[in-house]
């Protein structure tokens, strides 16, 4: 069989893996930034241990070709750390090695994936009285040095449930009872086996760049730097962000909804309706507390920022409602109206305009207007016409009254460059909104908050903007890059970080998004991304409880029926 691997031709021998061929072609570099970690074939991601031509495929009585190879015509694209699927393979391998090391050192300990803070992954460890991050680091280094091959083995779902039940991993056994496929692939070493919902790297020796730092009740694993993968990323503690995420975990425990299996049981029993009511009451309480803080400080402006699909618009409106309870007159403003005219923005190296960049905002004009407004002067506000790509002046004038509070919503709301020099900082309250999802698939597999935001955005774009799944996915990488550069570095500077996630919404979003995702064909260029989304939703039970969700809910911003959009 003839293959084309990253533009280089090679003949695959029976039983030869992609890794063998990568080495034969001299494409294995030993350096993380250039090292192939996985491969994409016909839109799907495969481990480099994948064998394109098996011995049984060349038997005289059974000449066949594997499905992926037939679909790709022999084309193989290698994935590296800079590619999102390559980074995912690195992350899964990290998880395998970490939990293997903990099992070897502290067999009775319970380790749980918790959250990602910047470049660090926090894992909580309980039941290990003598836990020590330095000891763990040494054991991880030893496992990496052994270069253990990571070979998948297919077993039945029933066998997996029995295995994890024997191992005392009830979280994983309960989750797998919701799996519809009769089999799954596990990775194992000795008596340890685990499942991480996707491909891993060929062996543990590929974990070349990392660090482990001590943390309260656990540790942080530090990943490679995204821009320079051959060095460990700099880790900056984010105590405020971490505290809010931890609080979300505590609420999950309180409401007995820590994993997808817990959520499914609430759906099946009908108790999800109570979960919705408690979640919504918690959000309302938080908005009330934020309004109290704004008024106590005597702030005249709230700068509200957050990443895509975090619920900024609904948050601005719900905060406005709470401020009215205090006798204030809130005024909503959008940073989008301060976009520069499109013909004034220089395109990037790819010829496209990066609308996430701070330079697309007329920061000087906004700062000037904000300073004048807070000084009690009248200002004519601009409006941005997204159809023409031009700023317009429509005679919209504003002058604050004694009890007025401006709520400025926008991607760059926390960027200090927006504030004029000499401004009394007490006049400005900074609010960061983001859905910090505290729900795990199981103890060893978290659901990233970015996954929830992508689901939200996909549903919203389809429902309200007639946008396809593919179009949303085509913009997502650019959106994430913009967030990493222009939002996340400032989140810790917020006066309040508001967790806009709800524990119930995956079950609600599934009803709206699952038909869209499953309609994407394997030939589609975004099939692998869609497949990754489906893998998680396959475990989630759909909840038909839209009637329980109030019209002011953050979730309504994405599924429709939001009172603030009428």
How does pLDDT run across 296-331, given as a tens digit for each residue? 999 999 999 999 999 999 999 999 999 999 999 999
Q: What pLDDT does residue 352 have?
A: 77
Domain that holds residue 289: 241-561
Does 186 reside within a domain? no
What letter would DSSP give residue 118? T
3-class SS letters over 307-375: CCCCCHHHHHHHHHHHHHHCCCEEEEEEHHHHECCHHHCCCCCCCCCCCCCHHHECHHHHHHHHHHHHC
What is residue 84's DSSP assignment?
A: H
Give which of 129, 144, 147, 148 is closest to 211, Cα–Cα: 144
Task: Please identify, among 80, 113, 140, the residue that sits at the C-terminal boundary of a domain.
Answer: 80
Range list of H helices, 255-271: 260-269
Q: How confident is the model at residue 372 (pLDDT cuts 50, 70, 90)?
A: very high
Phi then psi for residue 431, to 5 deg, are -120, 125
Residue 426 belongs to a domain: yes
Contact yes or no for 196/19 (Cβ under 8 A): no
Average pLDDT over residues 482-504: 93
Q: What number is the average pLDDT over the span 341-365?
A: 86
pLDDT band, residue 63 (cuts 50/70/90) = low
3-state secondary structure of 170: helix
CATH for 362: 3.40.50.300
Model's pTM, two decimal places?
0.91
Q: What is the mean pLDDT of residues 205-233?
A: 96
User: Tens digit of pLDDT for each residue in 147-178?
Assistant: 999 988 999 999 999 999 998 889 999 999 99
SS3 call for 411: coil
Q: How far, in Å, are 367, 379, 391, 398 from residue 395 at the CA level? A: 19, 10, 13, 10
Predicted local distance difference test score (pLDDT) of residue 353: 77
**Does residue 188 lie within any of the structural domains?**
no
Total domain count, the chain: 2
How many whole angstroms separate alpha carbon 521 and alpha carbon 514?
14
Q: Whole-angstrom Cα distance, residue 488 to residue 482? A: 9
In a domain, 98, yes or no: no
Q: What is the predicted pLDDT for the residue at 69?
A: 87
The owner of tokens 């601009």 is 382
Residue 212 belongs to a domain? no
As a three-state string, the secondary structure of 486-545 is HCHHHHHHCCEEEECCCCCHHHHHHHHHHHHHHCCCCCCCCHHHHHHHHHHHCCCCCCCC
Is 498 inside any structural domain? yes
Domain boundary among 64, 80, 96: 80
- Domain-located, residue 220: no
145 falls within a domain: no
Q: What is the CATH number of the domain that holds 70?
A: 3.10.20
- Return the number of other C-beta atoms located less than 10 Å from residue 547's C-beta: 7
Domain end marker among 80, 100, 120: 80
With a pLDDT cut of 70, the percent of the chain lying above it is: 99
């Amino acid at each position: 069989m003839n293959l084309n691997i990253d533009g280089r031709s090679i003949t695959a021998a029976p039983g030869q893996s992609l890794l063998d061929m990568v080495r034969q072609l001299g494409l294995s570099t030993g350096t993380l930034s250039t090292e192939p970690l996985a491969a994409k074939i016909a839109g799907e991601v495969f481990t480099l241990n994948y064998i394109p031509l098996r011995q049984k495929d060349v038997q005289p009585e059974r000449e066949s070709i594997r499905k992926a190879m037939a679909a790709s015509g022999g084309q193989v694209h290698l994935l590296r750390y800079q590619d999102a699927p390559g980074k995912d393979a690195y992350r899964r391998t990290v998880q395998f090695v970490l939990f293997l090391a903990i099992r070897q050192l502290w067999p009775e300990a319970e380790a749980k994936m918790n959250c990602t803070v910047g470049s660090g992954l926090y894992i909580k460890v309980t039941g290990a009285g003598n836990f020590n991050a330095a000891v763990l680091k040494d054991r991880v280094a030893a496992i990496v040095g052994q270069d253990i091959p990571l070979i998948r083995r297919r077993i039945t779902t029933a066998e997996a449930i029995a295995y994890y039940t024997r191992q005392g991993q009830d979280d994983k056994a309960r989750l797998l009872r919701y799996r519809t496929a009769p089999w799954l692939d596990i990775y194992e070493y000795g008596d340890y086996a685990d499942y991480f919902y996707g491909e891993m790297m060929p062996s543990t020796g590929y974990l070349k760049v990392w660090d482990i730092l001590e943390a309260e009740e656990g540790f942080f694993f530090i990943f490679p730097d995204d821009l320079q993968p051959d060095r460990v990323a700099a880790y900056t503690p984010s105590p405020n962000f971490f505290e809010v995420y931890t609080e979300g975990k505590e609420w999950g425990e309180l409401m007995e909804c820590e994993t997808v299996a817990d959520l499914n049981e609430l759906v099946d029993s009908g108790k999800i309706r109570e979960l919705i009511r408690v979640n919504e009451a918690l959000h309302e309480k938080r908005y009330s507390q934020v309004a109290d803080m704004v008024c106590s400080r005597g702030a005249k402006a709230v700068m509200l920022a957050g990443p895509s699909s975090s619920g900024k618009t609904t948050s601005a409106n719900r905060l406005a409602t709470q401020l009215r309870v205090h006798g204030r007159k809130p005024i909503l403003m959008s940073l989008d109206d301060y976009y520069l005219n499109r013909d004034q923005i220089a395109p990037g190296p790819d010829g496209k305009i990066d609308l996430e960049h701070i330079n697309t905002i007329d920061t000087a004009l906004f700062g000037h207007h904000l300073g004048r407004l807070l000084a009690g002067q009248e200002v004519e506000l601009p409006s941005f016409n997204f159809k023409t790509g031009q700023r317009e002046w429509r005679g919209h004038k504003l002058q604050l009254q004694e009890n007025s509070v401006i709520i400025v919503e926008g991607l760059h709301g926390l960027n200090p460059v927006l504030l004029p020099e000499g401004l009394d900082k007490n006049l400005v309250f900074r609010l960061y909104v983001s859905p910090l999802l505290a729900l795990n698939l199981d103890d060893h597999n978290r659901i990233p908050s970015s996954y929830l935001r992508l689901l939200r955005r996909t549903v919203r774009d389809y429902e309200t903007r007639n946008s396809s799944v593919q179009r949303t996915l085509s913009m997502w990488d650019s959106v994430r890059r913009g967030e990493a550069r222009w939002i996340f570095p400032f989140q810790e500077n917020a006066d309040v970080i508001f967790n806009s996630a709800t524990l119930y919404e995956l079950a609600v979003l599934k009803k709206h998004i699952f038909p869209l995702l499953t309609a994407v064909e394997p030939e589609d260029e975004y099939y692998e991304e869609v497949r990754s989304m489906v893998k998680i939703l396959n475990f989630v039970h759909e909840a038909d409880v839209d009637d329980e969700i109030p019209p002011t809910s953050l979730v309504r911003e994405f599924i429709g029926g939001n009172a603030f959009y009428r």
